[in-house]
Amino acid sequence: MKSKEELDPQKVEFLNKIADFIVKKGLDVVAVLYIESMRPLHRLSSNLVTFFEPFVSVAVSGNKIAMLRECLEDERYIDYLLERIENPPKK
């Protein structure tokens, strides 16, 4: 996996919030299984986000939707999210 320094800090912060939520809710095993099983379709997922953006933007800010789409388009961010879920920071 590429080092964290090569990734966009805003996207890393965004993914950290998602990973923290997943781990806090105890969904880490399910999330890793789902993300790994859907890995071949991550580009399709980013297109689906684009398609549903007008509907989802009612509840979620457009900036977050765009960030999610960009993260799904780049496999490095998917790898980072998986790594972050599997190895949460120690408190």
Tens-place pLDDT, residues 35-86: 999 888 878 888 888 888 888 878 888 788 889 889 988 999 999 999 999 9
Residue 16 predicted with pLDDT over 90: yes
What is the distance of C-alpha 28 from the center of its chain? 13
Q: Which amino acid makes up residue 58?
A: V
Given pLDDT bands bounded at 50, 70 and 90, which one contains residue 5? low
The structural domains of the chain, with segments of one domain joined by +, span 7-86
What is the structure's pLDDT at 24?
95
* pTM for this model (two decimals): 0.82
Residue 19 predicted with pLDDT over 90: yes
Q: How far apart are CA 4 and CA 12, in angstroms?
A: 8
> Which single residue is written with the structure tokens 């996996």?
1
Q: Compute the average pLDDT of residues 18-37.
A: 94
Q: How far apart are CA 47 and CA 59, in angstroms?
A: 19
